[in-house]
Structure 1
């Protein structure tokens, strides 16, 4: 297992308020990188990919350089739409509802917030989803 320092601290600083602002969400080290969970379900996972050791991520992202990637859950139709736009999105080789994106200095953090809130809502119990919906403006 690696430590949270394996991902850029500024990316963690951007993700923590998004993820930990969701009801009962918590952060923990993953087998590599950091993940955020609701109950025992992972709704977001951030890691730095070394292509020599994490080939599935690097191959899916189309790179042979170390990169930081975020994976999360999304409806299949939305995955297809995001993949049609291409960069920074990619489809990992597992899970029909899993989507990945490369995180870098060009990342749209408002979009990330929306995507991770949706990922959380796909996995959270209904009573927690209702709390998210009640706190969302509009």
Structure 2
């Protein structure tokens, strides 16, 4: 159910596709740039989560705000990507939608970002 909701959010964004990457579902902009990867107990982690691109400084801010929900994911954390746990008692899907949309903005071309109907500095 968590994967299905994450999938719905990701695929609602312009020109996104899904395919398995490194053994887990991942979402791409125009089939090329990954912006979200599902992480269900991968690499020995006991959590269901996702990893996503994040604006500069967002990873540090989110980790400081709530280290129980947010984490620095392996392999991509050093590039500022954010890990978000989805197995807590109450998942705030509105917040998840914002985080995923921000991830999309980080990697999508400006023409696609403009289709979101918001102005961005990216």
Pairing 1:96–2:79 present = yes
Greater than 4 Å deviation, 4+ residue runs: none
Structure 2 stretches lacking a partner, 5+ long: none
Which entry has the higher C-alpha Rg, 1 or 2? 1
1:74/1:98 contact within 8 Å kept: yes
Aligned to 1:82: 62
C-alpha offsets along residues 78-106 of structure 1, whole Å, 9 cap, x if unaligned? Answer: 21110002111001243322110111142
1:79/1:97 contact within 8 Å kept: yes
Q: Which moved more, 1:17-26 or 1:73-82?
A: 73-82
CA distance in 1, matches of 2:47, 2:17: 24
Higher share of residues assigned helix: 1
**Superposition map of 1:1-138 within 5 A:** 10-39=1-30, 40-50=32-42, 54-55=43-44, 58=45, 66-85=46-65, 86-93=67-74, 94=76, 95-104=78-87, 105-133=89-117
Q: Normalised by the size of structure 2, how large is the TM-score?
A: 0.84
Secondary structure in 2 aligned to 1:26?
strand
Give the aligned CA root-mean-square deviation in angstroms.
Answer: 1.6
Secondary structure in 2 aligned to 1:111?
helix
